Amino acid sequence: MQAPSPFLAAENLACRRGERLLFRKFAFRLESGAACHVMGANGAGKTTLLRALAGLTTPYAGSVTRGGALGLLDERTGLDPDLPLGKALDFWERIDGCTRPEGTITILGLAPLLEVPVRFLSTGQKKRAALAALLNRAVPIWLLDEPLSGLDAETIAKVTALIRLHVGGGGIALIASHQPLDVPGMTSFAIEDYAPAPEEDYA
Amino acid sequence: MILALLRRDLAQFFPFTGSGAALPTVFFVAVAMLFPFAVGPDVNLLARTGGGVVWIAALLAAILPLEKLVARDIALGFFDQLKLRGATEEAMMAVRLLAHWLSFGPPLLLATFPAAALLKIEGESFSILLLGLLAGTPGLAAIGLMIAALTASLRAGAALSGLLLIPLALPILIFGAGALARGDPVSLGFVGAISLGLVAIAPFAAGAAIRAAREG
């Protein structure tokens, strides 16, 4: 990991989707080696939170600070659907300057799929491909949006192990998921705890 | 990173490698071929009106690739992943503009040779036409990119972008086709100037547009 210890923090964060306020007064700080599980029903704002933390959207209020590079894994993989998987991953490897991608491809069992166009991959296979792209970047902060959905039991165990390894190596992982996750020392919170009361006038 | 991105964008949009990307050029030649059938084989008439037809065909050919230009990569999360790696939207759009122009500008210029032959455009008129298209197509590409980025998050984006491009392209068309009608290469300077201005603002306008699309 990078020399200064990575961190990810949010202060007084509030986000909206359309006109609706999803959550407010949300604050946390994750230091090197921390894992955090974000829970919440569909539409509670998990994806919105992760995108705001990644700096892709501007939060309605509050601020996000971080030290260290950040990777986001969500349902939109950024892999060209028309290209064979190998070529699609190649592009991101070039961008990231990754020289040894074979390891991640082997770990995630992608070797037999390298010739298959990305659009023919199943949900779980796509997720594994996106994970490979994330691993190749070697960034200290991981934001994972539903990393386990669509995966079989064996792959779930693998992904959990990867998260443990990442956190154990001093990385940070923030995971939004419906499924339970077995990562030692992981904190968790429910996004609904920060939802505004129906009559509350937040400004 | 810029080079890798340009290579990827080019592979996506370039004729014969990208899927269906040769279509605008084929379309351009097809229009030039149909025109003599429609108005008859009168050589004088063709020579007088042909330049305008070539310009309109170029304009329409510039509309064809707009649908895939930006919206697809927004849906893919492609721009998001680049942003996470520290690229700015402006840089992504500048690269995209270059790739877009390279994918339809030069092929169009090449296709102007057979098109001009079909329409009996010769001598000085032909060089004015070619220079005009060389000066005008970057501007058309820039307008196209801005519109594609602005309409990317709209449901009827594809149909709308064609409609929006036509009035915005009018100045280029007026000076470009006007230079041809009057045999006056000076107007080409205006075409070039308009193009340059558009190329300069397009990455910023399109970049702001894809940022706004994310907030939606």
* B100/B18 Cα distance (integer angstroms): 12
CB contact under 8 A, A91 and B4: yes
Q: Is residue B124 within 8 Å of residue B183, measured between CB atoms?
A: yes
In this prediction, residue A160 carries a pLDDT of 93
Give the residue on B whose Cα is nearest the Cα of A95.
B1
Residue with tokens 């699309």: B213
Q: Where in chain A is the domain with CATH 3.40.50.300?
A: 1-69+139-198
B12 vs A80: CB contact, 8 Å cut-off? yes
Q: What local confidence, expressed as pLDDT, does residue B17 receive?
A: 57
- The Cα A81–Cα A185 span in angstroms is 37
| DSSP letter (8 states) at residue A117 | B
Amino acid at B119: L
Of A77, A80, A94, the CB nearest to B4: A94
B98 vs B12: CA distance, rounded Å: 13
- The whole-angstrom separation of Cα A70 and Cα B82 is 12
Residue where the block lists tokens 């990442």: A166
Residue A149 near residue A181 (C-beta atoms within 8 A): no
pLDDT-derived band at A14 (thresholds 50, 70, 90) equals: very high
In this complex, is the C-beta atom of A56 within 8 Å of any C-beta atom belonging to chain B?
A: yes
H or E stretch covering A64: strand A61-67
- State the pLDDT confidence band at A195, using cuts at 50, 70 and 90: confident
For residue A197, pLDDT over 70 is answered with: yes
Tell me which DSSP letter residue A5 carries.
Answer: P
Give the closest-approach CA distance of B18 to chain A in angstroms: 9
List CB contacts of A67: < 8 A, sequence separation 6 or more.
A4, A5, A6, A7, A8
Least confident range from A161-165, A183-187, B73-77, B156-160: namely B156-160
Q: How many Cβ contacts (< 8 angstroms) between chains A and B?
A: 51
Helix (H, G, I), strand (E, B) or coil at A88: helix
Cα separation, A1 vs B86, in Å, equals 18
Of B8, B12, B77, Cβ closest to residue A76:
B77
**Cβ–Cβ < 8 Å for B4, B78:** no
Please name the residue that has the structure tokens 């919206």. Answer: B71
Does A77 lie at the interface with B, CB-CB under 8 angstroms?
Answer: yes
Flag whether pLDDT at A201 surpasses 80.
no
Helix (H) or strand (E) segment spanning residue A86: helix A85-96
Q: What pLDDT shows up at residue B120?
A: 87
Q: Is the pLDDT of residue A102 over 90?
A: no
Using CB atoms, pick whichever of A57, A69, A72 lies closest to residue B214: A57
pLDDT for position B48: 84
Q: Which amino acid is at B206?
A: A
Can you give the residue ranges of every domain in chain B? Answer: 2-215
Residues A1-69+139-198, CATH architecture: 3-Layer(aba) Sandwich (3.40)
Contact B141, B104 (CB under 8 A): yes
Residue A140 in contact with residue A174, Cβ under 8 Å? no
Q: Which among A56, A80, A133 has CB closest to B80?
A: A56
Phi (first) and psi of residue A61, to 5 degrees: -150, 165
Asked if the model's pLDDT at residue A1 lies above 60, the reply is no
Distance CA A73, CA A163 (A): 12
Three-state SS string over chain B comes to CHHHHHHHHHHHHCCCCCCCCCHHHHHHHHHHHHHHHHHCCCHHHHHHHHHHHHHHHHHHHHHCCHHHHCHHHHHHCHHHHHHHCCCCHHHHHHHHHHHHHHHHHHHHHHHHHHHHHHCCCCHHHHHHHHHHHHHHHHHHHHHHHHHHHHCCCCCCHHHHHHHHHHHHCHHHHHHHHHHHHHCCCCHHHHHHHHHHHHHHHHHHHHHHHHHHHHHC
Q: Do A81 and B76 touch (CB under 8 A)?
A: yes
State how far the Cα of A182 lies from the Cα of A157, in Å rounded to an integer: 9
Instruction: Please give the pLDDT value at position B16.
Output: 58
| Interchain CB distance below 8 Å, A70 and B84 | yes
ipTM of this complex prediction, to 2 decimal places: 0.90
Q: What is the pLDDT of residues A67-97, one digit of tens each?
A: 989 999 998 989 999 889 999 999 999 888 8
How many residues comprise chain B? 216
Chain-chain contact of A78 with B5 (C-beta, under 8 angstroms): no
pLDDT per residue as tens, chain B (216 positions): 888 888 888 888 775 555 566 788 888 889 888 988 998 888 888 888 888 899 999 998 888 888 889 998 999 999 999 999 989 999 999 999 999 999 889 999 999 999 999 888 888 889 999 999 999 999 999 999 999 999 988 877 778 888 899 999 999 999 998 888 887 888 899 999 999 999 999 999 999 999 999 887
